[in-house]
Structure 1
Amino acid sequence: MFSIPEEKLPECFKNDLRLNVLYAPLRSKSVNPSDWNSKITSWSQLINIYSSCNKVYKFSLDSLRIAFHQNGRSPSCLKEVIQEMVKSGDIELLDIFLQEKPKSWKEWATNVLISSPISWSLNKMKSMVTNLDNTTLYVPVKILEQEGDFY
């Protein structure tokens, strides 16, 4: 299922009743915060496992919908899951990930004290004004860190 070995698949994705809940649209967080958190956590975990098992180091909302398409349906809450994963730092926009990293302490200090706050503010305002589309590419940062430590 999902191109993930059975032994690595979380238990909630093996249960048909729970699977129906996970594929359903996400309700408001204020209505049932524990269900909301559980669903976000379950999908985040599955995305990380999928990325690791299949060596998928960049993906879009559309590609995840295809990867997790089952019985004629795709998960309804993936957009919210991706937004939460970006907020938590589990994934990052490919464009941001590919930005050149500082090579000296001076570059690092300039980046941390001047450039980053300015670009963060601009990116925050941009994200509030424009919605990212379904083809925006993301990188699973945590998985890349784990894979990098492994080799």
Structure 2
Amino acid sequence: MRNQLLAVLDIVLSARLVNANVIRIAEEAHKAADPHLALALVSARGTTTNPVEIALDLEMLDAAVDCAKEALAEIEKIKRVVSKNVVELEAAPSLPGGDAAMRRDAIQENLDEIDEGFQICGARLQEMETVRDIADKRRKALVARV
């Protein structure tokens, strides 16, 4: 019984650490991506006509896209860890009082939140890639005119 309780406690603590890690990753991705996206949007709207400035914006946007891809990969790893915890908890024998079921539900909620964050981060990545493509087309058009 003691080993079962320790196993469940380990899974719950792991889930809490994973959740804190996901929040940290999401905050880092948000901080890293937003300023670059804003710069790229300014360029894409046509306020900058200097190809050199657009090229610099594109470099920063490329860095933001890379950062978002790294964040998505890290979140995907965390999803696998949490999913493994859910499977381990389901395989563990039930504890008295329904504690295992409550903990499994809590971990599943964390997994759902992680998945939602993953979807949002993926949508932001697609938006950044679209803006980068628009800015790149503008740069090429301006260079062709020169």
What is the TM-score normalised by the length of structure 2?
0.30
TM-score, normalised by the number of residues in structure 1: 0.29
Which fold has the larger relative contact order, with Cα–Cα distance below 8 Å and residues 6 or more apart in sequence? 2
Q: Which has the larger radius of gyration?
A: 2
